[in-house]
Amino acid sequence: MSKNERVTFGSKIGVILATVGCAVGLGSIWRFPYMVGENGGGVFLLVFMLCTLLLGLPIMITEFFIGRRSRSNVAGAFKTLAPGSHWSLIGYNGVLAAFLILGFYSVVSGWTLEYMWQALTGSLSGKTTAEFAADFESFSSSVFRPIGWTLVFIAMTHIIIVSGVEKGIERASKIMMPALFLILLLLCVRSLTLPGVKEGLAFLFKPDFSQFSSSVVLSAMGQTFFSLSIGMGCLITYSSYFGKDTNLQMTAVQVTVLNTLVALLAGIMIFPAVFSFGIEPTAGPELVFITLPNIFAQIPLGNVWSFIFFILLALAALTSTISLHEVVTAYVHEEYHMTRKKAAWLVSLGVGVIGIFCSLSFGLLKEYTIGGLILFDALDYLTAKIMMPLGGMLICIFVGKRIEKKVLKEELTNKGSVAFYFFNTYAFFIKYIAPVAIGLIFLNELGLLKKLAELF
């Protein structure tokens, strides 16, 4: 298929839903609450919101520009827009990030299947908080079961990927995202009537500035990139399928708002429960998995609700794993002239291997750490806190340096047919503010800013 004949999304709502599907997933519902818990609560939320507005939204618009302008996969996009340059390195960084994320993301996605299964078989009821926590620990550290679910998840992703872009992704997203949103709302209402509601909401919304640190800022920036799927070309790949009349700015605003809303709902659902049931907010990756069963245990027909919830969560994860897989598959397929099917197989097998090792890092391979982190955490750190922000910074520098403002405006306004009121502010932001801010956050985390300040 030549580049001009690329498939495009069938309908407007399809574009938004598929892109929301790529963004909204475990990042907002599983990762966000545990990041909030580990990084001091409200102060993290505040920095996260600032990062979303000041970095997330402008970078998303910029990725949409690159994708639709080039109509190519993430590595090819830079070759198309800046032939003969080294900018395609940004694309390689993105492909590698997608591949690694898919490895550990599939493990958590597998956990959602286990919980769905447990809800179905009724084993999520009648337990104490300590029993729920012990159950999770024994499940996640065992060898075969979590690996089995991880591989099932990768297989499901694989099947959708080989069945084609439009059919697979669009059909899946249309039904699932609204349903997930509704059930989240319902669970928030339940959580808000628990005894720990005051403490929980204060933890989430009241910043305690004594908790502020450089690592809170790095974590919040990482969460922004991870949960919006920016900085690694996923949205470049998706927007390469957008139609000519898709309003890029509007789509970016809608995706960002919806994604942030889902994260906030997840926080409102989790923290009152965390304080009601005496769970440690700093519990880490298991936070959501030990908190949710407690909430369901307090609801009439809890097993039914919990089954529906975990199905939808698994599907939200699936729309994200599809997008991650698509980044790597589209790259291998188009750059190495391999059939799509063969490319997808190669990716799935590779991801399967990483997934197995990530899963084992909770148990059998727990002793093997990288910089004090088990493999799962190390890959999460490397991708969310380093590779994605680095990619985002380079994307901004690329567009700021290599793309004429006229071209940028033409694409973002659909040749002048939609308005872009703050275009100059946006362009200034992308060229100067965003790359400098990300660079400073990196330097700060490395302790280099402090050293520089001491020098002067």
Report the C-alpha gap between 64 and 251 in whole angstroms: 9
Query: x/- contact string, 318-357, with ligand PFF (CB under 6 A)?
Result: --x--xx---------------------------------
Return the number of the residue (103 or 196) whose C-beta is nearest ligand PFF: 103
CB atoms within 10 A of CB 109: 29
**Footprint on residues 106-165 left by ligand PFF (CB under 6 A):** none
Report the C-alpha gap between 449 and 452 in whole angstroms: 5
Q: How far is the CB of 180 from ligand PFF (least distance, A)?
A: 12
Q: How far is the CB of 308 from ligand PFF (least distance, A)?
A: 19
Q: Is 309 one of the binding residues for ligand PFF (CB under 6 A)?
A: no
Q: Is 256 one of the binding residues for ligand PFF (CB under 6 A)?
A: no
Q: How far is the CB of 183 from ligand PFF (least distance, A)?
A: 17
In Å, how far are 157, 196, 424 from 193, measured between CA atoms? 37, 8, 46
Query: x/- contact string, 402-431, with ligand PFF (CB under 6 A)?
Result: ------------------------------
Report the C-alpha gap between 169 and 8 in whole angstroms: 12
User: Residue 27: phi, psi to the nearest 5?
Assistant: -60, -40
Task: Using CB under 6 A, pick the residue from 27, 168, 272, 293 that binds ligand PFF.
Answer: 27
Q: Is 98 one of the binding residues for ligand PFF (CB under 6 A)?
A: yes
Number of residues in contact with ligand PFF under rule CB under 6 A: 16
Task: Using CB under 6 A, pick the residue from 232, 343, 375, 382 that binds ligand PFF.
Answer: 232
Q: Is 26 one of the binding residues for ligand PFF (CB under 6 A)?
A: yes
Tokens 């063969």 correspond to what residue?
A: 342
Q: How far is the CB of 429 from ligand PFF (least distance, A)?
A: 22
Q: Is 315 one of the binding residues for ligand PFF (CB under 6 A)?
A: no
Distant-in-sequence contacts of 410-418, Cβ < 8 A, 24+ apart: 411/65, 411/68, 411/69, 411/248, 412/61, 412/64, 412/65, 412/248, 412/249, 414/244, 414/245, 414/246, 414/247, 414/248, 417/245, 418/247, 418/249, 418/250
Q: Is 260 one of the binding residues for ligand PFF (CB under 6 A)?
A: no
Q: Is 226 one of the binding residues for ligand PFF (CB under 6 A)?
A: yes
Report the C-alpha gap between 184 and 262 in whole angstroms: 8
Report the C-alpha gap between 18 and 21 in whole angstroms: 5
Report the C-alpha gap between 10 and 332 in whole angstroms: 24
Specify the stretch interacting with ligand PFF by CB under 6 A; choose among 26-34, 180-188, 296-304, 424-432.
26-34
Q: Is 177 one of the binding residues for ligand PFF (CB under 6 A)?
A: no
Burial class of residue 50 in the structure, from the number of CB atoms within 10 Å of its CB (0-12 exposed, 13-18 middle, 19+ buried)? middle
Q: Is 28 one of the binding residues for ligand PFF (CB under 6 A)?
A: yes
Query: x/- contact string, 45-84, with ligand PFF (CB under 6 A)?
Result: ----------------------------------------
In Å, how far are 80, 131, 326 from 15, measured between CA atoms? 23, 43, 15
Specify the stretch interacting with ligand PFF by CB under 6 A; choose among 19-27, 57-65, 337-345, 348-356.
19-27
Q: Any residues with CB less than 8 A from the CB of 107 and at least 6 apart, and which?
A: 146, 150, 355, 358, 359, 376
Looking at residue 164, its amino acid is: G
Binding site for ligand PFF (CB under 6 A): 22-23, 25-28, 98, 101, 226-227, 229, 232, 234, 320, 323-324
